[in-house]
């Protein structure tokens, strides 16, 4: 009679999309998993994410797709607010183009929690403070002095990852900032003139505001502006910080948007940039999601890649190869996709936030060309090339 053996165990740091997807995928591959999250409870801040292509197909494989529904709907319009405050037609997708599934981050996380087996524990208010590796396991010490022994430690704890710092080195070695600040908030009520599914954009040299209206709740708003303060979080009240940058914007949209942001309660500020690393694996420690590649919000592919990479890691482990070889294979297969979308984000940052007057003019020309089927293929080529 065969002697039963214990299942391999993964400790996952981070209960965001990447971490929960990794725990779900590895559990389906026959592993045990424990998730630790530095936040004291499930996060309440929200922002817009998209699922498409391989990311959506991976979500279907993990059982998530049946729990997700599009937030913007098929009839959403895109408007641009020009320098005079006029509302003009905005970017247009090609006829028949399939728009990605638009969701809130919390939609994906809720679906992941729903699909996560009951035997996968999620411990809040805990973060790694020390990592020790041996040839056969990794020992992770948490900030409450608990020690967890596992076969694999997955750092999916965001762009400010504690696991990355402990196992790979200081943030400064890997962070590439764009010199931009993003303030994101979920507004409590719809804005005047913005219907469900509509997107309105005010983009000028050095500042931009993006608002997307949803079918069944208030819009999500992003305020983007150039800022060199490494803390990103303003040293003044949120309303004053946003009005200092956007208070003189012309037109009817901005006053209502700033008032709505005041009432939103939670406005999350962060630096915009990328994490670029020569490797994501260090023996039995693996980085995933923003901890490894942080494409930035300008890529619109972060959630896709997080789910896709989680499913891919489980596939690599299922092959039965030794763990180090399976993980190395996973990294080789994932890197081209991450690199492509990171490069695209560097270029697309000028669509989200023009760096200066020349970039703002190029952006306006690209928007106009996108509305003509004959010139649409040339439109985004006008944007400045990444540095």
Q: What is the mean pLDDT of residues 194-207?
A: 87
Q: What is the mean pLDDT of residues 135-153?
A: 97
CATH code for the domain in which residue 213 is found: 3.30.9
The answer to whether the CB of 72 falls within 8 A of the CB of 159 is no
CA 182/CA 3 separation, integer angstroms: 55
Same domain, 56 and 153: yes
- Whether residue 116 is contained in a domain is answered as yes
Same domain, 153 and 189: no
pLDDT score for 383 = 63
pLDDT score for 230 = 56
| 249-to-64, 204, 205 alpha-carbon distances in Å | 41, 9, 12
Helix 253-264 and helix 238-246: axis angle, to 10°?
Answer: 160
**Edge-to-edge strands, sheet with 220-226:** 87-89, 78-81, 199-204, 207-212, 220-226, 175-186, 268-275
Helix 105-115 and helix 302-318: axis angle, to 10°?
Answer: 30
- Whether residue 164 is contained in a domain is answered as yes
Per the model's pLDDT, the better-predicted residue between 157 and 381 turns out to be: 157
Same domain, 215 and 333: no
Same domain, 66 and 161: yes
Same domain, 88 and 106: no
Work out how many domains the chain is built from and give that number: 2
The answer to whether the CB of 299 falls within 8 A of the CB of 348 is yes
Structure tokens at 112: 């992941």
Range of the domain at 364: 78-100+178-273+352-382
CA 330/CA 349 separation, integer angstroms: 28
- Whether residue 109 is contained in a domain is answered as yes
Same domain, 62 and 135: yes
pLDDT score for 169 = 95
Structure tokens at 294: 């942080």
Confidence of residue 85 (pLDDT cuts 50, 70, 90): confident
Same domain, 269 and 280: no
CB atoms inside a 10 Å sphere around CB 154: 29
pLDDT tens readout for residues 309-339: 999 999 999 998 999 999 999 999 999 999 9
Same domain, 156 and 291: yes
pLDDT score for 233 = 64
- Whether residue 2 is contained in a domain is answered as no
CATH code for the domain in which residue 122 is found: 3.50.50.60
Same domain, 183 and 218: yes
Q: What is the mean pLDDT of residues 256-274?
A: 88
pLDDT score of 50 more than 50? yes
CA 374/CA 370 separation, integer angstroms: 9
Same domain, 318 and 378: no
Give the pTM: 0.91
- Whether residue 387 is contained in a domain is answered as no
Q: What is the mean pLDDT of residues 267-281?
A: 92
Same domain, 196 and 312: no
Degrees (nearest 5) of the Cα angle 364, 366, 368?
A: 70
pLDDT tens readout for residues 280-309: 999 999 999 999 999 999 998 999 999 999
Same domain, 310 and 167: yes
- Whether residue 3 is contained in a domain is answered as no
Whole-number CA gyration radius for the chain = 22
Q: What is the mean pLDDT of residues 70-91?
A: 80
- Whether residue 229 is contained in a domain is answered as yes
Give every CB contact of residue 38 below 8 A, 6+ residues apart in sequence: 125, 126, 127, 157, 162
């Amino acid at each position: 009679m065969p002697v039963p053996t214990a299942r391999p165990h993964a400790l996952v740091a981070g209960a965001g999309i990447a971490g929960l997807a990794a725990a779900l995928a590895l559990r389906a591959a026959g592993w045990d998993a424990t998730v630790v999250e530095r936040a004291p409870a499930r996060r309440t801040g929200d922002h817009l994410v998209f699922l498409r292509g391989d990311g959506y197909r991976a979500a279907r494989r993990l059982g998530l797709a049946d729990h997700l529904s599009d937030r913007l709907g098929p009839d959403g319009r895109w408007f641009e607010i020009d320098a005079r405050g006029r509302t003009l037609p905005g970017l247009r997708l090609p006829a028949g183009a399939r728009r990605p599934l638009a969701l809130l981050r919390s939609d994906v996380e809720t679906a992941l929690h729903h699909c996560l087996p009951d035997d996968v524990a999620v411990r809040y208010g805990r973060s790694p403070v020390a990592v020790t590796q041996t040839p056969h396991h990794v020992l992770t010490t948490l900030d409450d002095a608990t020690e967890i022994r596992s076969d694999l430690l997955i750092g999916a704890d965001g762009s400010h990852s504690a696991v990355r710092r402990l196992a790979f080195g200081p943030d400064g070695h890997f962070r590439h900032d764009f010199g931009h600040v993003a303030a994101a908030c979920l507004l409590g009520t719809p804005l005047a003139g913005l219907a469900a599914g509509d997107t309105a954009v005010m983009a000028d040299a050095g500042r931009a505001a993006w608002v997307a209206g949803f079918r069944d709740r208030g819009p999500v708003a992003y305020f983007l502006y150039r800022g060199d303060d490494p803390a990103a979080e303003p040293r003044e009240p949120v309303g004053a910080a946003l009005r200092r940058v956007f208070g003189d914007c012309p037109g009817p949209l901005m006053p209502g948007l700033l008032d709505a942001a005041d009432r939103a309660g939670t406005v999350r500020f962060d630096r915009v940039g990328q994490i670029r690393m020569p490797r994501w694996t260090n023996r039995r420690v693996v980085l995933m999601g923003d901890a490894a590649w942080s494409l930035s919000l300008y890529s619109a592919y972060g959630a896709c890649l997080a789910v896709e990479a989680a499913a891919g890691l489980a596939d690599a482990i299922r092959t039965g190869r030794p763990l180090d070889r399976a993980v190395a294979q996973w990294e080789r297969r994932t890197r081209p996709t991450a690199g492509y979308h990171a490069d695209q984000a560097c270029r697309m940052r000028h669509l989200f936030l023009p760096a200066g007057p020349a970039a703002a003019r190029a952006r306006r020309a690209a928007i106009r060309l996108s509305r003509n089927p004959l010139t649409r293929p040339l439109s985004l080529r006008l944007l400045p090339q990444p540095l």
